């Protein structure tokens, strides 16, 4: 048996619209692992924000904060923090526009604003159950792997202004901010480089705008049925909606699941 490496986004891919893990997805991941394949997470979330999913699925390798913090078998193999001087410029620019920021490391998230409705609505949508820590000075000395910018629009203006940063919207009120050149695809390449797994044995599943580079870079890529058209065009295949056992069906399409399974997902 040739070992495969399969990357899964979390929100809208592993987790459905209710932020629940479908039974068919849990069963599919277990079958992949039982067959000896390596399953990894590729997400915009920071590690502290998906520990319960890791534990439930027994996944010990992941690309987090959109590629800036990569772990294999519980060991950190790559870190790409944003430099404090760049963050200082972003802090000033966003403050002039009344756009709050939340800075993430691997253990927590730190807000420069005590209370803001955009922060509450976007963070609550993740259903993590963890409040943001108020610490407006954290970015000066702490390692920041990703920043969340909170605004209803205007990310194009930020992209034009900061050529050392990428701005990708993930919520109606929030935008992921990562170092220029940093992405899930780059983080994945770091893990692939270490594992030395051939390109044709690597798979990826995703649904969001932050998955586009990943889906383009992986030979066997699957966009979820709930993804937007621009995301679907980036993938080599499209599976069903996350709410319609999309992971299970995509893995069946890829020939990675055996015939001996329950009919729960059929």
Dihedral sign computed on CA atoms, order 109, 114, 119, 120:
positive
Q: Which of left, alpha, beta for 135 (phi over 0: left; psi -120 to 50: alpha)?
A: beta
Q: Which two tokens stand for residue 248?
A: 């299970």
Helix (H) or strand (E) holding 76: strand 75-79
Residue 11 annotated among the catalytic residues of the structure: no
Indicate the SS3 state at residue 237: strand
For residues 47 and 106, the answer to whether their CB atoms sit within 8 Å is yes
User: What separation in angstroms does the CA of 57 have from each of 12, 30, 41, 122?
Assistant: 16, 7, 10, 25
Cα(266)–Cα(256) distance, integer angstroms: 16
Which of 9, 11, 211, 245 is catalytic? The answer is 9
Q: Which residues pair with 12 in a beta bridge?
A: none
If we measure between CA atoms, which residue out of 151, 167, 158 comes closest to residue 209? 167
Indicate the SS3 state at residue 152: coil
Residues known to be catalytic? 9
């Amino acid at each position: 048996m040739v070992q495969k490496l399969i990357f899964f986004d979390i929100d809208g891919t592993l987790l459905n619209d209710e932020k629940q893990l479908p039974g068919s997805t849990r069963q599919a991941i277990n079958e992949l692992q039982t067959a000896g394949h390596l399953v990894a997470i590729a997400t915009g979330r920071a590690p502290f924000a998906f520990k319960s999913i890791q534990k439930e699925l027994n996944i010990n390798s992941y690309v987090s904060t959109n590629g800036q913090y990569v772990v294999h078998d519980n060991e950190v193999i790559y870190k790409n923090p944003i430099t404090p001087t760049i963050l200082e410029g972003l802090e000033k620019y966003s403050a002039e526009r009344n756009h709050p920021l939340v800075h993430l490391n691997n253990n927590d998230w730190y807000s420069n604003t005590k209370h803001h409705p955009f922060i509450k609505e976007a963070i609550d949508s993740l259903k993590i159950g963890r409040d943001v820590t108020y610490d407006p000075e954290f970015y000066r000395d702490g390692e920041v792997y990703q920043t969340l910018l909170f605004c209803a629009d205007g990310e194009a203006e930020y992209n034009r202004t900061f050529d050392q940063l990428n701005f990708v919207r993930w919520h109606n009120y929030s935008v992921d901010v990562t170092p220029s050149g940093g992405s899930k695809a780059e983080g994945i390449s770091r893990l692939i480089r270490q594992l030395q797994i051939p390109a044709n044995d690597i798979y990826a599943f995703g649904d969001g705008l932050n998955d586009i580079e990943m889906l383009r870079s992986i030979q066997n890529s699957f966009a979820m049925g709930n993804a937007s058209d621009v995301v679907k065009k980036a993938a080599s295949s499209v599976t069903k909606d996350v709410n319609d056992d999309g992971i299970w069906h995509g893995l069946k399409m890829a020939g990675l699941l055996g015939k001996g399974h329950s009919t729960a997902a059929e």
